[in-house]
Amino acid sequence: MSQEQIPKTQLAAVSDDASGFEIREIPVVQANELEPGRALVKVLYSGVCHTDLHVIKDDWPVKAERPCIAGHEGAGIIVAINDPISKLKVGDKVGVKWIAHSCNQCEFCIAGDEPLCLEAKCSGINAQGSFMQYCPAYTSQLTPIPDNLDMAEAAPILCAGVTVYKALKNSRARAGQWIAIPGAGGGLGSLAVQYAKWMGLKVIAIDSGAEKKKYCEEIGAAAWVDFKESKDIVAAVKAATPDGLGPHAAIITSPQPEAYLIAMEYIRPRGTVVAVGLPPAGAYVKADVFFTVLNNKTLTSSYVGNRQDAIESLQIAADGHVKCRIQTVPFKALEKVYTQMAEGSLVGRAVLDLFA
Interface residues with ligand 8ID (CB under 6 A) are 49-51, 54, 159-160, 163, 182-183, 185-189, 206-208, 227, 253-256, 258-259, 276-278, 302-304, 341, 344, 346
Residue 268: Cβ within 10 Å count: 18
The residue from 49, 125, 191, 337 that contacts Zn ion (CB under 5 A) is 49
In the complex, least distance from residue 282 CB atom to ligand 8ID, rounded to whole angstroms: 14
Residue 206: Cβ within 10 Å count: 33
Rounded to whole angstroms, how far apart are CA atoms 3 and 18? 38
Q: Which residue is nearest to ligand 8ID (CB)?
A: 186
Rounded to whole angstroms, how far apart are CA atoms 89 and 77? 10
Rounded to whole angstroms, how far apart are CA atoms 151 and 155? 6
219: partner contacted, choices Zn ion, ligand 8ID, none (Cβ within 5-8 A by kind): none
- In a 3-state reduction of DSSP, which class is residue 49? coil
254: partner contacted, choices Zn ion, ligand 8ID, none (Cβ within 5-8 A by kind): ligand 8ID
Site pattern 142..161 for Zn ion (x: CB under 5 A):
-----------------x--
Establish if 346 lies at the interface with Zn ion (CB under 5 A).
Answer: no
Picking from 195, 165, 192, the residue whose alpha carbon sits closest to that of residue 306 is: 165
Q: In terms of CB distance, is 83 or 207 closer to ligand 8ID?
A: 207
In the complex, least distance from residue 212 CB atom to ligand 8ID, rounded to whole angstroms: 6
- Is-contact 253 184, C-beta < 8 A? yes
In the complex, least distance from residue 334 CB atom to Zn ion, rounded to whole angstroms: 15
* Cβ burial 89-113 (10 Å sphere, 16+ → b, else e): ebebbbbbbbbbbbeeebebbeeee
In the complex, least distance from residue 279 CB atom to ligand 8ID, rounded to whole angstroms: 6
